[in-house]
């Protein structure tokens, strides 16, 4: 007989939304079994209360090079306090499910660290941690499905009284679909103040405040930008489409430091928005407010009373719902199955959300990159109420870019290095990234307003006296363009430390980004010049039979690298997260081992200590 417990608490830390979806699924399965539960983002939970919980299920993602999502950082700092005793969490039962990608070196690093720390603080793991893998044929759900099945069995053994409806679930039972979490209120008579044209800033703030999606940026844009220059960096027809974009602030000044990141809210294709509205038989001109259905429920930290300013339905869809670039989640298909009137469509949708159909859904949806609009057009008999669409369509998110300029060198401007994202699906359909395509196609002659937010990146701005070793292949060079601009400016009024910069691309003729800029600063007296103790080294990977990458150029300059490290240099790495950061780290290990005489293992420990001391920084993206 298990002991009696009050509820299950599900805490999630998400970056892209997958951990949120997994946590919500755990909550739904608890609800269908009649089990009391709560689902919270970890940054909405007071960690001091953790010791009084019965069962806590953590769902956490790992980003970049083993980094924790932003929402987890404060909670993690609390857990690391030395004042916490080893028995602080005694009596707390917990489980951890991680979401990661085994293609990265630090696969599910955050979940593993959290599991170890909870155990050290006296909590009891009731099941071995689950590790979701984006590389699995079914994505993270390939591990989540069997892990959840085992979890519920364990929790039931611990406390059968939590499950008045038992363990078995019937996904075809329509009674499982409860009311949506949001309520859409239509305003028949629009007051004069509502019918006037609102500024874009207010529209963005209101729509994003009303959206149930959690946003990484604040709802209100920090500023608006206008494009002043759009020039290609790669050779047309080379297979790479990279451009240099320059923006100026409109109506307000901007401040940022080198190494900072800008988040941009892209515009959706108006034709796609119109097609979605028509497909769902909605009135684009209707004025709406979106409210949390529960009075004690909060969206984006706002209470229900905050949602009183109506916006046009079409505006809400365009600014808050990603209808034409994001793929819907599994639960979207489950809810669709209840609203499909054609029996063959209902049957296919139910197959998709069954355990047996999981792989088929992954191939149809995520692997093929189906959009919400495409899915709804594939199942024309589905008529989902707008409330469900508001809740389940992925929110339109900002996209982050490393800033490629120095604010000191270009006051009130921000420069970006943008690679237009495109890929071929398994069914040979070419897809394009929403934001990169939109930005690259903007015309500086048109006054398009671009909503933007600024935030700190993972590359802290270095003081002028700090020697630097920079590694930035491809668009990874973007932040270092700002570093070099700033140091060149600092050199006009004082002493500056040298910079070694390693750049890499495929071909000298095709994608040597900012060639003239780097060469101008590597000539006599420049901040990258050998005369000043620095250097600029390029790896053209495909200009010779043998592939040459940045790590090869780093090894070639091993003595110079070691000399600069001995002078107190910091290392900065930016670019593709796939293999490059691990290959670069290995190159530094070899250099340190060779130049110092340390064994490789000792060199590795030296580098890890270097990282902990804040002298090895990596900003990588997939």
196 marked among binding-site residues: no
The Cα angle at residue 133 between residues 363 and 352, in degrees rounded to 5: 30
253 is in an annotated binding site: no
206 is in an annotated binding site: no
Is 61 assigned a ligand-binding role in the annotation? yes
Give the count of beta carbons closer than 10 Å to the beta carbon of residue 493: 8
User: CB atoms < 10 A from the CB of 514, how many?
Assistant: 19
Residue keyed to tokens 């029996």: 343
For residue 187, give the 3-state DSSP assignment.
strand
Contact 415, 246 (CB under 8 A): yes
Cα 486 to its chain centre, rounded Å, is 28
In angstroms, how far is CA 536 from the centroid of its own chain?
Answer: 32
The answer to whether 16 is annotated as binding is: yes
Nearest to 374 by CA among 414, 429, 456: 429
Burial (CB count <10 Å: 0-12, 13-18, 19+), residue 360? middle
Q: Is 447 annotated as a binding residue?
A: no
Q: What does DSSP say about strands 535-540 and 450-455: parallel, antiparallel, or unpaired?
A: unpaired
400 among the known binding-site residues?
yes
Q: Is 199 annotated as a binding residue?
A: no
As to burial, measured by CB atoms within 10 angstroms (0-12 exposed, 13-18 middle, 19+ buried), residue 281 is: exposed
Contacts of 413 (CB under 8 A, 6+ apart): 228, 246, 247, 248, 249, 405, 407
- Name every residue whose Cβ is closer than 8 Å to that of residue 464 and which is 6 or more positions away in sequence: 487, 490, 491, 494, 495, 496, 497
Residue 569 annotated as binding?
no
Q: Is 436 annotated as a binding residue?
A: yes
Residue 322 labelled as part of a binding site: no
Is 435 annotated as ligand-binding? yes
- Pairing, β 93-100 against β 130-133: parallel
Report the distance separating Cα 529 and Cα 305, nearest Å: 60
DSSP-based three-state secondary structure for 95? strand
Cβ pair 316, 207 in contact under 8 A: yes
103 is in an annotated binding site: no
CA quadruple 52, 60, 138, 147: dihedral, nearest 10: -30
Give the torsion sign (CA, 155, 161, 167, 171). Answer: negative
Q: Was 17 annotated as part of a binding site?
A: yes
Is 95 among the annotated ligand-binding positions? no
The annotation status of 597 as a binding-site residue, yes or no, is no
Buried b (16+ CB within 10 A) or exposed e, 520-529: ebbeeebbbb
Q: For residue 2, which phi and psi values (nearest 5 degrees)?
A: -80, 165
| Nearest to 500, CA basis, from 513, 512, 487 | 487
CA distance 572 to 581: 10
Tell me: is residue 438 an annotated ligand-binding position. Answer: no
Annotated ligand binding at 419? The verdict is no
Angle 272-321-330 (CA atoms, 0-180°, nearest 5)? 100
List of residues 6+ apart from 295 with CB closer than 8 A: 304
Residue 220's nearest CA partner among 501, 451, 496, 374 is 451
Chain-centroid distance of CA 387 in Å reads 26
Query: Which has the closest alpha carbon to 435: 422, 454, 453?
Result: 422
Q: Which of 593, 598, 594, 572 is nearest to 584 (CA)?
A: 572
Region of residue 487 (left: phi > 0; alpha: psi -120 to 50; beta: else): alpha
Task: Tell me whether residue 87 is annotated as binding.
Answer: no
User: ∠ at Cα 293 (201, 345), nearest 5°?
Assistant: 95
Is 399 marked within a binding site? yes
- The answer to the question of whether 534 is labelled as a binding residue is no
* Residue list, annotated binding site for FMN: 14-19, 61-64, 134
* Residue list, annotated binding site for FAD: 399-402, 433-436, 621
* Residue list, annotated binding site for NADP(+): 475, 541-542, 547-551, 583
* Residue list, annotated binding site: 14-19, 61-64, 134, 399-402, 433-436, 475, 541-542, 547-551, 583, 621
């Amino acid at each position: 007989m298990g002991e009696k417990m009050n509820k299950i608490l599900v805490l999630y830390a998400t970056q892209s939304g997958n951990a949120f979806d997994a946590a919500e699924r755990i909550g739904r399965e608890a609800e269908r079994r009649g089990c009391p539960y709560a689902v919270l983002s970890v940054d909405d939970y007071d960690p001091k209360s953790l010791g009084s919980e019965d069962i806590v299920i953590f769902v956490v993602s790992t980003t970049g090079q083993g980094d924790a999502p932003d929402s987890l950082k404060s909670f993690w700092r609390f857990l690391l306090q030395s004042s916490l005793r080893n028995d602080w969490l005694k009596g707390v039962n917990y489980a951890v499910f991680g979401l990661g990608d085994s293609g990265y070196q630090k696969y599910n690093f955050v979940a593993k660290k959290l599991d170890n720390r909870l155990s050290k603080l006296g909590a009891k793991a009731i099941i071995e941690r689950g590790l979701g893998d984006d590389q699995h044929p079914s994505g993270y759900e390939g591990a989540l499905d069997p892990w959840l099945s085992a979890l519920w069995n364990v929790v039931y053994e611990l406390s059968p009284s939590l499950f008045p409806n038992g363990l078995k679930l019937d996904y075809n039972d329509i009674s499982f679909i409860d009311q949506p979490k949001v309520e859409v209120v239509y305003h028949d008579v629009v007051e004069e103040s509502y019918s006037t044209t609102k500024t874009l800033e207010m529209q963005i703030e209101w729509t994003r405040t009303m959206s149930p999606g959690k946003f990484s940026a604040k709802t209100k844009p920090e500023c608006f930008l206008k494009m002043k220059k759009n020039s290609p960096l790669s050779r047309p027809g080379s297979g790479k489409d990279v451009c240099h974009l320059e923006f100026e602030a409109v109506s307000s000044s901007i401040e940022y430091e080198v190494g900072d990141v800008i988040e941009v809210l892209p515009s959706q294709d108006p034709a796609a928005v119109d097609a979605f509205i028509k497909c769902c038989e909605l009135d684009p001109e209707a004025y709406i407010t979106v409210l949390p259905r529960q009075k004690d429920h909060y969206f984006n930290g706002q209470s229900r009373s905050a949602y009183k300013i109506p916006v046009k339905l079409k505006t809400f869809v365009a600014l808050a719902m990603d209808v034409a670039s994001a793929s819907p989640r599994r639960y979207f298909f489950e809810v669709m199955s209840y609203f499909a009137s054609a029996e063959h469509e209902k049957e296919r949708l139910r197959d998709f959300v069954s355990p047996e159909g999981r792989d088929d859904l992954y191939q149809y949806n995520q692997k093929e990159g189906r959009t919400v609009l495409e899915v709804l057009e594939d199942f024309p008999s589905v008529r989902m109420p707008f409330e469900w669409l508001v809740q389940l369509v992925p929110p339109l998110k900002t996209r982050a870019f490393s800033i490629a300029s120095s604010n000191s060198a270009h006051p009130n401007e921000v420069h970006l290095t943008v690679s237009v994202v495109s890929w071929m699906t398994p069914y040979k359909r070419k897809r394009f990234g929403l934001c990169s395509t939109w930005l690259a196609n903007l015309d500086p002659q048109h006054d398009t307003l671009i909503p933007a937010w600024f935030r700190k990146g993972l590359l802290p701005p270095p003081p002028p006296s700090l020697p630097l070793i920079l590694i930035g292949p491809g668009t990874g060079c973007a932040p270092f363009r700002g570093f070099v601009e700033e140091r060149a400016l600092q050199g006009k009024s004082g002493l500056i430390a040298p910079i070694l910069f390693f750049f890499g691309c495929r071909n000298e003729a095709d994608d040597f980004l900012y060639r003239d800029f780097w060469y101008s600063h590597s000539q006599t007296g420049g901040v990258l010049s050998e005369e000043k103790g620095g250097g600029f080294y390029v790896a053209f990977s495909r200009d010779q039979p043998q592939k040459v990458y940045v790590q090869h150029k780093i090894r070639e300059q091993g003595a110079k690298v070691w000399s600069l490290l001995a002078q107190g240099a910091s290392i900065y790495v930016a670019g593709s997260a796939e293999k490059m950061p691990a290959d670069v780290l290995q190159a530094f290990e070899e250099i340190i081992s060779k130049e110092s005489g340390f064994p490789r293992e000792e060199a590795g420990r030296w580098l890890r200590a270097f990282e902990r001391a804040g002298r090895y920084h990596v900003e990588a993206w997939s």
